[in-house]
Structure 1
Amino acid sequence: MAHSAGWFYWALLSAIFAALTAVFAKVGIQGVDSDLATLIRTAVIIVVLSIFVACTGKWTNPFDLEPRTWLFLGLSGLATGASWVCYFRALQLGEASKVAPVDKLSLVLVAVFAFAFLGERPSLREWSGILMVAAGVLLLAFKR
Structure 2
Amino acid sequence: MNWILLSVVSAMLLGVYDAAKKWSVRSNAVPIVLLCCVSIGALLYLPLMIWSAMDADSIPWNSFVVRPLSWERHGLVLSKSLLVGASWTCAFTALKHLPLSIAAPIRATSPFWTILIAITFFDERPTPIQWLGIAIVLLGFWRFTLVGRREGIRFTRNRWVNLMVLATILGALSSIYDKWLLQDAGFDPVTMQAWFTVYLVPVMVPLAVWWYRFDSPRSVVMAQPPEIRSPPVEVANQTAGQVTGQMVDRSIDIQRFHWRWSIAVVSPLLIMADWFYFVALADPDAMVSVVSVLRRCSVVIALAFGAKALSESNFRAKLTCVGLILLGVVLLTWHG
Q: Structure 2 CA distance, aligned partners of 1:79 and 1:142?
A: 30
What residue number does 1:113 align with? 117
Cα deviation for residue 133 of structure 1 reads 1.7
SS in 2 for 1:21: helix
Q: Structure 2 CA distance, aligned partners of 1:100 and 1:72?
A: 29
What residue number does 1:89 align with? 93
Q: Structure 1 CA distance, aligned partners of 2:40 and 2:143?
A: 34
What residue number does 2:43 align with? 47
Cα deviation for residue 71 of structure 1 reads 4.9
What residue number does 1:12 align with? 8
8 Å CA contact retained: 2:48, 2:66: no
Alignment of 1:115-130 (within 5 A): 115-130=119-134
Of 93-102 and 39-48, the range deviating more from structure 2: 39-48
CA 1:73/1:141 → structure 2, altered by over 3 Å: closer, same or farther? farther
Stretches of structure 1 that go unaligned for 5 or more consecutive residues are none
CA RMSD of aligned residues (A): 2.2
What residue number does 1:98 align with? 102
Stretches of structure 2 that go unaligned for 5 or more consecutive residues are 53-58, 151-336
Query: Which residue, 63, 67, 72 being the options, matches 2:70?
Result: 63
Cα deviation for residue 70 of structure 1 reads 4.3
Q: TM-score, normalised by structure 1?
A: 0.81
8 Å CA contact retained: 1:99, 1:141: no
2:141 aligned with 1:134, yes or no?
A: no
| 2:32 alignment partner AA | L
Q: How many residues align?
A: 137
Q: Relative contact order (C-alpha < 8 Å, sep 6+): which is higher? A: 2
Cα deviation for residue 142 of structure 1 reads 3.5
Structure whose residues are more often helix by fraction = 1
Cα deviation for residue 115 of structure 1 reads 0.7
SS in 2 for 1:62: coil
Q: Structure 1 CA distance, aligned partners of 2:131 and 2:5?
A: 22
Partner deviation per Cα, 1:105-132 (whole Å, 9 max, x = no partner): 1122112111111111112222222222
Q: Structure 2 CA distance, aligned partners of 1:122 and 1:47?
A: 39
CA 1:142/1:34 → structure 2, altered by over 3 Å: closer, same or farther? farther
What residue number does 1:27 align with? 23
Identity of aligned residues (%): 21
Q: Structure 1 CA distance, aligned partners of 2:40 and 2:145?
A: 30
Q: Structure 1 CA distance, aligned partners of 2:68 and 2:21?
A: 33
- Which structure would you say has the larger Rg? 2
8 Å CA contact retained: 1:101, 1:141: no
